[in-house]
Amino acid sequence: MQLSAGQRLVSILQTISFSIPRGQIVAIVGPSGSGKSTLLGLLAGLDRPTAGSICIQGTDITNLNESEMARFRRRHIGYVFQSFHLIPTLTALENVLLPLELQGQSSGQDRARTLLQSVGLEHRLSHYPIQLSGGEQQRVALARAFISHPSILLADEPTGNLDSQTGARIMELLWQLHEIQGSTLVLVTHDVSLANRAQRILTLRDGHLVSDSDHHSES
């Protein structure tokens, strides 16, 4: 993966190859600038590699155009951004329902309410993001990511903007939702406690995959 920086091409990721079995929990770790978030963006189809291929459930997503990739992502991938990316003019319930609306589904109110209840926000359904704490916004983002029953959940520093107590709560919710839905989890994190609960740890350094190890999680 290369990006243009002025007159120079900067290699972000180089010679990376791995596969993830269905249902596995994987932590991607490494120092800042090692390419972790870029790798996650590539797996989500938000970015395009300049070489190589990315196959998800038998589909080479690098061959999909933007509209095809958007449809594939809506069907198969949930994404939790570090900065939440909630729509400020929508309530918590409306934010969770948004992926279903983009798929043209008119139903889903009951499931959205159930998900918000599962993350402890049944009393905040009609609140807007500005009325929610950082931890509450992250929980809304988690519920939104799971609303479409994604087979893969990608999370970029899901505890990065939170205090330790709230971060621990979010970590528990990730694992609970994973157990309920059986989704594959791929998490970018600097949080050692979060990485230690994963079944596998991929370590990046300077754009290279330097370690790929199975891990006995602490869950």
Q: pLDDT > 90: what percent of the chain?
A: 44
Looking at residue 119, its pLDDT comes to 82
In the chain, the number of structural domains is 1
State how far the Cα of 68 lies from the Cα of 56, in Å rounded to an integer. 14
Assess if residue 82 is contained within a domain: yes
User: Could you tell me what percentage of the chain is helix, strand and coil, using 3-state DSSP and rounding each to the nearest 5?
Assistant: 35, 20, 45
- The contacts found for 5-14 with CB under 8 angstroms, 24 or more apart, are 11/207, 12/38, 12/207, 13/38, 13/39, 13/42, 13/49, 13/204, 13/207, 13/208, 14/207, 14/208
Residue 1 has pLDDT above 60, yes or no: no
Assess if residue 219 is contained within a domain: no
Residue 120 has pLDDT above 90, yes or no: no
User: Do residues 162 and 171 lie in contact, with contact meaning Cβ atoms separated by under 8 Å?
Assistant: no
Instruction: Give the pTM.
Output: 0.83
- In Å, what is the CA distance from 97 to each residue of 1, 68, 134, 143, 192? 34, 21, 20, 9, 32
Assess if residue 15 is contained within a domain: yes
Instruction: Please give the residue range of the domain that contains residue 137.
Output: 2-214
Assess if residue 31 is contained within a domain: yes
Eight-state DSSP code of residue 61: G
Confidence category of residue 44, pLDDT binned at 50, 70, 90: very high
Residue 11 has pLDDT above 70, yes or no: no
3-state secondary structure of 56: strand
First to last CA, the chain: 34
Residues in Cβ contact with 180 at an 8 Å cutoff, skipping those fewer than 6 apart: 118
Q: What does DSSP say about strands 184-188 and 208-214: parallel, antiparallel, or unpaired?
A: unpaired
Assess if residue 71 is contained within a domain: yes
Assess if residue 197 is contained within a domain: yes
Assess if residue 40 is contained within a domain: yes
> For 164-193, what is the mean pLDDT?
84
Looking at residue 3, its pLDDT comes to 46
Specify the CATH number for the domain of residue 151: 3.40.50.300
pLDDT tens-digit profile of 47-105? Answer: 888 888 999 999 999 999 999 998 898 889 988 887 888 999 999 999 999 988 887 77
Average pLDDT across the chain, whole number:
86
